[in-house]
Structure 1
Amino acid sequence: MRVLVTGGSGFVGSNIVEVLDHHDAEVLAPGRAELDVTDAVAVNRYVEATRPDAIVHAAIWNDPAGLLTDRRRAWEAYVGATRAVVDAANRAGAHVVLVSTDWVFDGTQGPAPENESPNPVNTYGFLKAASELVVAERAERGTIARIAAVQGIHRAHPSTPRAQDAGFGYLAASVADALAAGRRFKVWDGPGLNRLATPVLATDAAEFIFRALEQAATGTLHCVGGEHVDRVTLARRSAQAFGFDPERIDVVDPDPAIVGTQPVPVDTRLDATATATQLGLELPDLGTTLQRLRLQLQAIQS
């Protein structure tokens, strides 16, 4: 299987590349200098030249402030790029998978099943929801793979890029980094945050995506774990999983300078029961997710 991965140097994308490599797929992961996904002509030319069996579209413009100040670029980076990828996939007869997010929901729908209608409350969620529509209505063989509260390591840049933000991303690894260095960890809790979600290890989400490609599964999939959790519980259970005292976790108010002013969906729990049944996968509980993360961190540190 030959798979083109856009955004392959990013956090989620690099883990997708890792898992596809593990399954002996032939992976194409061009950087932005090699392929600008907002350039429809360039995307079509690249796909025509390489003839992938599938395209996993994980590329995003990861700049929350920029999404507000340059809306034209934001639209093209998300919706325009998705349209370009889908059209090129259709011409090549390739299966296309869009990596989407639990933030397409407004925070009142949890736990949301795969057929729940999106209702985003911020720019990022809106752009992802609009991109989902492109796949649902335009792709001849299309899959929407929603992920949530992604934990793991960045395969291209193993050090955690931030301690935490309004979402859950990197939280478990950040806890481990702080406690291993002898520091206490201050987990945020309060208004303006995503406070309930369904975490998944980045490599587990990638396994869902590989299985979808292998089985030619289309439609909307929830590529998440099997256990919902709040931020404070995730931080404390992460401490325990890594062999530290959970009492070294302090609960504090969020940093407003980092959180920003846009609304954030409070409860983005996803129900992945139908996805697990469709793909024949068992949803990992939080303990399993954290133990797998611990092994991954040990592997890169050894």
Structure 2
Amino acid sequence: MRRVWVTGASGFVGSNIAYVLAARHGVEVIAPTHADVDLTDGALVARSAAATRPDAIVHAAILNDFLELTARRRDAWEAFVGATRNVVDAANAADVPVVLISTDWVFDGTSPPAPAAEDEPPNPINMYGFLKAASELVVSQRARRGVIARVAGVQGVHRARVGGGRVARVQDAGFGYLVASMVEALRAGRPFTVWDGPGLNALATPTLATDAGELIWRALEREVTGVLHCVGGEHADRVALARRAVKAYDLDPDLLLTGPPPDGAIPPGIAIPRDTRLDATRTAALLDADLPDLDMTLARLGAELDTAWSTTA
């Protein structure tokens, strides 16, 4: 595996996958931006992939705006499903594997009882989950050598931003960036309120972005196909995750608060899956991987935060 074409490498998850491939495994990463290649243009995608002659394609690009997904449904469909179709066709033409980065939000969070296994049919309840589930179907039915890599509760640093994206991001209904945002606030002596209550993704399987990248690398190296849950080895609720992080990093527990989201913080009319825990037993066996527990995940995350943030201190 010498060269991998990665879409969405300027994003949070994509930048970590690109980092793992390049920095840890010596892979040449071809990372076109949207300005370079419009993924909804099938002919352009085909030409770009053919010209770079990759050994694999990883498709991590998304339209990352929940309100836009419902306000611009045709554009959203093309950004997810149409782009996935174009990327899969390019991979088929090059006779290389294609990895779609998907999500635990393809499940509704209530049934079947979580944790959901790799072979559980999706049942999304919002537009993002629906578009990801539809994209998964494109890969499963169209790709000759397809991998659907679901990630969940992703934590880490943003490799495409200076200092790992140190400026704290506003908390959202999911788990992403939760620990990094909390750590930044508490280290600065500011209180941080972890949202709790109805209408939130309350339970998930926290995953370090670079750990997900390592599992994807293993899948490519071992030529594994099908649905994989590229996640950590321990489930948690959002409040417990924050408290474990406070203890792991020796932060002031009195600064950690819990409470409902502020008015208007959650986009109205968008259903959020409550329990999206994923079972990765099959994935771990296929990849011969030991999935880290939460203590190990937090230790690795702490090291990544310290390294990234020390460059901008």
- TM (norm. structure 2) is 0.95
What corresponds to 1:13 in structure 2? 14
Task: Identify which of 160, 169, 194 aligns with 1:162.
Answer: 169
Aligned partners of 1:148 and 1:199 also within 8 Å = yes
Task: Identify which of 113, 116, 131 aligns with 2:117.
Answer: 113
Aligned-partner residue type, residue 195 of structure 1: A
Task: Identify which of 273, 288, 293 aligns with 2:281.
Answer: 273
Aligned partners of 1:160 and 1:170 also within 8 Å = no
What corresponds to 1:297 in structure 2? 305
**Distance (whole Å) between structure 2 residues aligned to residue 178 and residue 161 of structure 1:** 8
Residue 243 of structure 1 deviates from its aligned partner by 1.2
What corresponds to 1:224 in structure 2? 231
* C-alpha distance 113-3 of structure 1, shift in aligned 2 (>3 A): same
Residues 213-242 of structure 1 deviation map (CA, whole Å, 9 limit, x = unaligned): 101110000000111100110111111111
**Distance (whole Å) between structure 1 residues aligned to residue 42 and residue 284 of structure 2:** 34
Task: Identify which of 119, 139, 158 aligns with 1:135.
Answer: 139
Superposition pairs of residues 130-279 of structure 1, within 5 angstroms: 130-157=134-161, 158=164, 159-160=166-167, 162-261=169-268, 262-279=270-287
- Which runs of 5 or more residues in structure 1 are unaligned? none
RMSD: 0.9
Aligned partners of 2:15 and 2:159 also within 8 Å = yes
User: Could you say what secondary structure the match of 2:272 adopts?
Assistant: coil
* C-alpha distance 8-267 of structure 1, shift in aligned 2 (>3 A): same
Aligned-partner residue type, residue 59 of structure 1: A
Residue 36 of structure 1 deviates from its aligned partner by 1.1
What corresponds to 2:82 in structure 1? 80
Residue 300 of structure 1 deviates from its aligned partner by 1.6
Task: Identify which of 60, 63, 66 aligns with 1:64.
Answer: 66
User: Could you say what secondary structure the match of 2:43 adopts?
Assistant: helix
Aligned partners of 1:153 and 1:160 also within 8 Å = no
Residue 256 of structure 1 deviates from its aligned partner by 4.0
Query: Any runs of at least 4 consecutive aligned residues in structure 1 with deviations exceeding 3 A, and if so which?
Result: none
Residue 163 of structure 1 deviates from its aligned partner by 3.4
Residues 77-136 of structure 1 deviation map (CA, whole Å, 9 limit, x = unaligned): 000000000001001101000000000001023100000010000000000000000000
User: Could you say what secondary structure the match of 2:132 adopts?
Assistant: helix
Aligned partners of 2:248 and 2:295 also within 8 Å = yes
- The yes-or-no answer on 1:285 pairing with 2:293 is yes
Residues matched between the structures, number: 302
What is the percent sequence identity of the aligned residues? 62
- TM (norm. structure 1) is 0.98
